[in-house]
Amino acid sequence: MLSFLYCYCISIMDFWSPDIEAMPLDELKELQLRRLQKTVRRAYDTNEAYHRLFKEAGVAPGDIRSLDDLARLPFLTKDDLRHYYPFGLLCVETDDCVELHASSGTTGTPVVGPYTRGDVEVWTEVMARALWANGMRQSDVLQNAYGYGLFTGAHGFEKGAQRIGALVVPIGSGNTRRQITLMKDFGTTALSCTPSYSLYMAEVAREMGFDPREDFRLRLGLFGAEAWSDEMRAKIEEEWGIVAHEHYGLTEIIGPGVVTECSHKRLHVNADHFVTEIIDPQTGEQLPPGEEGELVFTTVTKEAFPAIRFRTGDIARYSEEPCACGRTLPVQSRIKGRSDDMMKIKGVIVFPSQIEAAIMAVEGTSGNYQLVKRKQREMNSLSIKIEPTEERHAQGHLDDLAQKIEEEVYAVLNLHIPVEVVPPNTIPRSLGKAKRVVEE
Ligand SMILES: [Zn+2]
């Protein structure tokens, strides 16, 4: 018992914000409620659009007496954000903002994320909390290979790592050979980028004559901005000889820093700032903990642009069960996919991440694959292109490999999806988010 207590105290002492991360759940919920009430009141009083949306839903700030009353508030959708672009949902003066980010806008009007000084402080703290939990310390050298610019990713990692006191190398994305050279020269210990890019970097390192496992000081991978499977994680960890951690966030909420992944690889929601709901994507009804549905977030400390009941389109589960790491912060599962990524193939719901998991379970496959979607009359059909590893390619008998993958996919989805094995280095590589699904 004593040794248990000892371990418990040690782990708690090692949290970045122990007061919050190990706060009893009922206290945490009281804190959430107080902050939610304040946020709703402020949005209603200061912002015309929120005022009208709440009125139309027949709800006033005084109606929010418990966290359950969240369900009385209207949802905020991506379309709403586009409608109020760029500053229609701002709850402060633009003069009060000190930083602005935006999504790429490749699928329409970009989403704008303005920050006050207070918002930047919250962002910095939640990122430091997450990176500390991943094992980052002052002695680390972070190679920050997310794209700098309007995208939140790189900036969030930089802020959090600097708060810890680590050395940040703001290299940005691209120029992969230079990345490898500097990784060696600067003694990089932590790498932040998309998971698919980290695999490409390992490929380039090999081309340059390095052994990714032996020739670098790298020990931590901090990956996000893509849905990636546990099997992909194992592959990356094996390839680089590192521990790979997931980061999750959205421009609408704060950028990266929405969750903290612990050493047990569970995603703890930073629930002192973000309140989670899981809803049925079709009906919008709240679902109980443990059920799979669409993630909805409400920010309860954000000043410039509080997102109230924002529908993320991301499919996951939520749980308030305790975690062995000692954190009481609730847990969300890894993202199965965006509801936009969901495909219906011969009547079966398919997420690219499920296919990825099946592919990666077969020995001899690399992390490079592409799903080719075709629309034939009213039916969608799908096929898979995958690259084997160099060694597996050299062995030949690639039909066997294709068949094994087909069987593995069938075991997961109960669907026969044709698999084409293509030579190594033929599927285009991405420096940011990989394009896993192409339409023909
Ligand atoms: Zn944990």
Asked, for residue 338, whether it belongs to a domain, the answer is: no
> Residue length, the chain?
440
Q: 171 C-alpha to center of ligand 1: Å? A: 31
Q: What is the pLDDT of residue 2?
A: 52
Same domain, 316 and 377: no
Same domain, 328 and 367: no
Q: How far apart are CA 16 and CA 163, in angstroms?
A: 11
Same domain, 270 and 131: yes
Does the pLDDT at position 7 exceed 80? no
Q: 286 C-alpha to center of ligand 1: Å? A: 25
Helix (H) or strand (E) holding 39: helix 25-46
Same domain, 369 and 266: no
Chosen domain end from 279, 303, 332:
332
Token pair belonging to 253: 């909420």
Same domain, 41 and 74: yes
Q: 268 C-alpha to center of ligand 1: Å? A: 7
Contact indicator for 363, 371 with CB cutoff of 8 Å: no
Q: 303 C-alpha to center of ligand 1: Å? A: 29
Q: 326 C-alpha to center of ligand 1: Å? A: 6
Structural domain range at position 351 = 343-439
Q: 329 C-alpha to center of ligand 1: Å? A: 8
Q: 403 C-alpha to center of ligand 1: Å? A: 38
Q: What is the pLDDT of residues 190-248, one digit of tens each?
A: 999 999 999 999 999 999 999 999 999 999 999 998 888 999 999 999 999 999 999 99
Q: 133 C-alpha to center of ligand 1: Å? A: 9
Q: What is the pLDDT of residues 94-112, one digit of tens each?
A: 999 999 999 877 667 888 9
Asked, for residue 337, whether it belongs to a domain, the answer is: no
Q: 16 C-alpha to center of ligand 1: Å? A: 13
Q: How far apart are CA 245 and CA 261, in angstroms?
A: 7
Q: What is the pLDDT of residue 4?
A: 54
Q: How far apart are CA 307 and CA 260, in angstroms?
A: 20
Asked, for residue 163, whether it belongs to a domain, the answer is: yes
Asked, for residue 295, whether it belongs to a domain, the answer is: yes
Asked, for residue 324, whether it belongs to a domain, the answer is: yes
- Mean per-residue pLDDT for 252-260? 97
Q: 26 C-alpha to center of ligand 1: Å? A: 18
Q: 230 C-alpha to center of ligand 1: Å? A: 17
- Tally of CB atoms within 10 A around 45: 11
Same domain, 246 and 113: yes
Does the pLDDT at position 11 exceed 70? no
Token pair belonging to 348: 């079966």
Does the pLDDT at position 9 exceed 60? no
Q: 276 C-alpha to center of ligand 1: Å? A: 17
Q: 192 C-alpha to center of ligand 1: Å? A: 21
Q: What is the pLDDT of residue 347?
A: 82
Q: What is the CATH number for 351?
A: 3.30.300.30
Asked, for residue 404, whether it belongs to a domain, the answer is: yes
Percent helix, strand and coil across the chain, each rounded to 5?
35, 25, 40
Contact indicator for 270, 299 with CB cutoff of 8 Å: no
Q: What is the pLDDT of residues 31-41, one digit of tens each?
A: 999 999 999 99
Q: What is the CATH number for 299?
A: 3.40.50.12780
Single out the residue of 142, 124, 125 nearest to residue 191, CA to CA.
142
Single out the residue of 79, 57, 82 nearest to residue 69, CA to CA.
57
Single out the residue of 21, 13, 34, 8 nearest to residue 329, CA to CA.
21
Q: 296 C-alpha to center of ligand 1: Å? A: 21
Q: Is the pTM of this model over 0.95?
A: no
The Cα diameter of the chain in Å comes to 70
Same domain, 299 and 377: no
Q: What is the pLDDT of residues 139-156, one digit of tens each?
A: 999 999 999 999 999 999
- Mean per-residue pLDDT for 289-312? 97
Structurally, the chain folds into a number of domains equal to: 2
> At a CB cut-off of 8 Å and minimum separation 6, what does 161 contact?
127, 128, 131, 136, 140, 142, 144, 168, 190
Does the pLDDT at position 21 exceed 80? yes
Percent over 70 (pLDDT), the chain: 96
Same domain, 200 and 271: yes
Asked, for residue 368, whether it belongs to a domain, the answer is: yes
Q: 295 C-alpha to center of ligand 1: Å? A: 19
Does the pLDDT at position 348 exceed 90? no
**Residues pairing with 385 in the sheet:** 370, 420
Q: What is the pLDDT of residue 106?
A: 66
Q: 325 C-alpha to center of ligand 1: Å? A: 4
Q: 267 C-alpha to center of ligand 1: Å? A: 7
Does the pLDDT at position 3 exceed 60? no
Q: 328 C-alpha to center of ligand 1: Å? A: 8
Q: 324 C-alpha to center of ligand 1: Å? A: 6
- Tally of CB atoms within 10 A around 363: 10
Q: 82 C-alpha to center of ligand 1: Å? A: 36
